[in-house]
């Protein structure tokens, strides 16, 4: 839909209704609230709300664009489950959205159904993509489609294989799928497993292992190579490769506001790393493994450049001291611009299950701040396996018991939004300015019962024409 026409329409409605509303509310309407001077102060704990339990080794949670009523949870054993959301209440539906248990090999701890991504135009075409290891242990990326007539049930007969990758070992399968801001599908693959990358695959441009891939699933069946991929051309490197030198990217994500790519790459013996690729990057980065582990030399035999300074170092790394063992990559929080966590990268460590870690840029360096995760009374955290994000930017944490007790996995909402409504902030998307995009956000929530609290700029308990007017006035003023 034409953005300019949308804006003009909403402005027209604002103008038409403003005079009537101003006459009716002149005596009772409160004055414009002053902008919030400070978002809620950071605390040393983050409360969790239980969203779903009794899950079989959950590893991913996501939602289609614009779908506020559902979460989709990936279970390693081969199922995708739906959590319905209504009035803040989460309900796990008994029937799986997709059941491909018979196709999935999940005997290894790092094997199974590992990733899910909805097509950006899912509402129209019903396509979604999954990443799993098959019964031979090899990676399959496949496209499915939602069934006709039932939005809570996928069509298992609609499967189309998009990609096959031979896996030499059972571990380091990566598995994350994400559509980037450019509309292309990104696929994170580990180095093929074992330890120390014995096949030197992450640096080998002739194999897909240890790489970040980028493909165009709309330009042809099952995909075509985006012409702007960094290694397009005859011979090696392979055209699908977007970046190389990854050990096991668990997990990666895009900042939904800026488009930056964040990668949590699991280390070998000493160092865990966070890699940052700025939005608009031309690709072709080399994150160093196995030549380097983090920013440190690991093994320079095999395929390593003579000058290691050409390799890309992480923006942050941490050691295994203190019980750390493997990074769980997360998301930049963009749920509420009124939250002190807004703009911070959230991540965890697999062996420190009750801790949330954040990165924020402070002048010239990235600063890490740690928070204790507090589940509801009577519940305990074991291993923070993954994070997920819903359609409005809320972030969820997944707790996996590591298979020791069946069907005990849990999904929690990280309660990062301010506890009370924050009045007077008209920058609704948090991009640093008030403009037509903010007007659209307020207008889009006008009279919705599931409105976002940040769009209720006067804290009246609803998003109405007054909120739209006030955001428009802030833009004009």
SS3 (DSSP) at 443: helix
Residues 95-148: tens digit of each pLDDT: 999 999 999 999 999 999 999 999 999 999 999 999 999 999 999 999 999 999
Does 326 score more than 60 pLDDT?
yes
Does 169 score more than 80 pLDDT?
yes
Would you say residue 37 lies in a domain? no
CA torsion, ordered 344, 260, 212, 297, to nearest 10 deg: -60
DSSP labels, 326-369: -EE---B--S-TTSTTTTPEEEEETTEEEEEEEEEEETTEEEEE
The predicted structure's pLDDT at residue 18: 42
Which of 48, 62, 412 lies closest to 251 in space, CA to CA?
62
Q: For residue 112, give both structure tokens.
A: 């199974």
Which DSSP letter does residue 270 get?
S
SS3 (DSSP) at 448: coil
Q: Are residues 290 and 155 in the same domain?
A: yes
Q: Are residues 253 and 279 in the same domain?
A: yes
Q: Are residues 15 and 152 in the same domain?
A: no
Q: Are residues 433 and 351 in the same domain?
A: no
Q: Are residues 307 and 401 in the same domain?
A: yes
Which pLDDT band holds residue 405 (cuts at 50, 70, 90)? Answer: confident
Last residue of one domain, picked from the residues 373, 396, 414: 414
The predicted structure's pLDDT at residue 402: 65
Q: Are residues 89 and 214 in the same domain?
A: yes
Does 39 score more than 70 pLDDT?
no
The predicted structure's pLDDT at residue 65: 97
Which DSSP letter does residue 321 get?
G
The predicted structure's pLDDT at residue 157: 97
Q: Which residues contact 199 (CB under 8 A, 6 or more apart)?
A: 168, 191, 192, 209
Residues 237-252: tens digit of each pLDDT: 999 999 999 999 999 9
Q: What percent of the chain has pLDDT over 90?
A: 87
DSSP labels, 156-207: EEEEEEEEEE--SSSS-----EEE-TTSPEEEE----SSSS-TT--TT-TTS
Number of structural domains (the chain) is 2
Q: Are residues 146 and 256 in the same domain?
A: yes
Number of Cβ within a 10 Å radius of residue 379: 13
Domain that residue 434 falls in = 3-20+423-476
Which pLDDT band holds residue 274 (cuts at 50, 70, 90)? Answer: very high
For the chain, what is the largest distance between any 2 Cα atoms, rounded to a whole number of angstroms?
A: 78
Residues 434-450: tens digit of each pLDDT: 999 999 999 999 999 99
Using H for helix, E for strand and C for coil, what is the string for 200-236?
CCCCCCCCCCCEEEEEECCCCCCCECCCCCCCCCCCC
Would you say residue 31 lies in a domain? no
Q: Are residues 265 and 229 in the same domain?
A: yes
Q: For residue 84, give both structure tokens.
A: 């319905």
| Region 85-102 average pLDDT | 97
**CATH number for the domain that contains residue 243:** 2.120.10.30
CA distance 46 to 158: 41
Q: Which residues contact 187 (CB under 8 A, 6 or more apart)?
A: 131, 141, 163, 174, 176, 177, 212, 213, 214, 215
The predicted structure's pLDDT at residue 476: 81
SS3 (DSSP) at 6: helix
Q: Are residues 311 and 458 in the same domain?
A: no
Does 11 score more than 60 pLDDT?
no
SS3 (DSSP) at 57: coil
Beta bridge partners of 18: none
Q: Are residues 459 and 349 in the same domain?
A: no
Residues 330-361: tens digit of each pLDDT: 999 999 999 999 999 999 999 998 999 999 99
Q: Average pLDDT of the chain? A: 91
SS3 (DSSP) at 381: coil
Residues 198-220: tens digit of each pLDDT: 999 999 999 999 999 999 999 99
| Region 265-272 average pLDDT | 97
The predicted structure's pLDDT at residue 362: 85
The predicted structure's pLDDT at residue 43: 62
Does residue 12 or residue 97 have the better pLDDT? Answer: 97
| Region 453-476 average pLDDT | 95
Q: Are residues 391 and 313 in the same domain?
A: yes
């Amino acid at each position: 839909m034409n953005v300019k026409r949308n804006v003009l329409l909403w402005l027209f409605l604002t103008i038409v209704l403003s005079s009537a509303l101003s006459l009716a509310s002149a005596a009772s309407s409160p004055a414009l609230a002053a902008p919030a001077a400070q978002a809620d102060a950071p605390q040393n704990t983050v409360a969790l709300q239980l969203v779903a339990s009794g899950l079989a080794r959950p590893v991913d949670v996501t939602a289609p664009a614009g779908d506020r009523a559902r979460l989709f949870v990936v279970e390693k054993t081969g199922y995708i489950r739906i959590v319905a959301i209504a009035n803040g209440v989460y309900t796990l539906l008994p029937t799986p959205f997709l059941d491909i248990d018979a196709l999935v090999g999940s005997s290894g701890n790092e094997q199974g159904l590992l990733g899910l991504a909805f097509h950006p135009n899912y509402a129209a075409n019903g396509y979604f993509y999954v990443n799993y290891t098959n019964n031979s242990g090899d990676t399959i990326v496949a496209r499915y489609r939602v069934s006709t007539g039932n939005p809570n049930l996928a069509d298992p007969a609609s499967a189309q294989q998009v990609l096959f990758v031979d896996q030499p070992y059972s571990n380091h399968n990566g598995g994350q799928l994400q559509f980037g801001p450019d509309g292309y599908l990104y696929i994170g693959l580990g180095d093929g497993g074992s330890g120390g990358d014995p096949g030197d695959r992450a640096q080998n441009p002739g194999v897909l292992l240890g790489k970040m891939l980028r493909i165009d699933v709309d330009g042809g069946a099952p995909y075509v190579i985006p012409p702007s991929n960094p290694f397009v051309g005859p011979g090696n490197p392979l055209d699908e490769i977007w970046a190389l030198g990854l050990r096991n990217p668990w997990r990666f994500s895009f900042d939904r506001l800026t488009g930056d790519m964040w990668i949590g790459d699991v280390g070998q013996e000493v160092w865990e790393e966070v890699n940052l690729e700025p939005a608009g990057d031309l690709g072709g980065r080399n994150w160093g493994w196995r030549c380097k582990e983090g920013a440190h030399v690991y093994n320079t035999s095999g395929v390593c450049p003579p000058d290691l300074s050409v390799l890309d170092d992480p923006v942050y790394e941490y050691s295994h001291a203190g019980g750390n063992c493997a990074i769980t990559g997360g998301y930049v929080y963009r749920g509420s611009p009124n939250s002190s966590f807004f703009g911070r990268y959230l991540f965890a460590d697999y062996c420190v299950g009750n801790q949330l870690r954040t990165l924020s840029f402070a002048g010239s360096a990235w600063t890490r701040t740690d928070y204790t995760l507090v589940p509801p009374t009577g519940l305990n955290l074991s291993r923070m396996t993954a994070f997920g994000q819903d359609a409005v930017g809320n972030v969820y944490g997944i707790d996996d018991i590591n298979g020791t007790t069946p069907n005990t996995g849990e999904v929690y909402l990280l309660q990062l939004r301010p506890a009370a409504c924050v009045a007077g902030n008209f920058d609704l998307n948090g991009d640093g300015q008030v403009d037509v995009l903010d007007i659209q956000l307020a207008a889009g929530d006008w009279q919705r019962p599931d409105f976002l609290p940040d769009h209720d700029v006067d804290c009246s308990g609803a998003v109405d024409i007054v909120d739209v007017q006030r955001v428009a006035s802030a833009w004009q003023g």
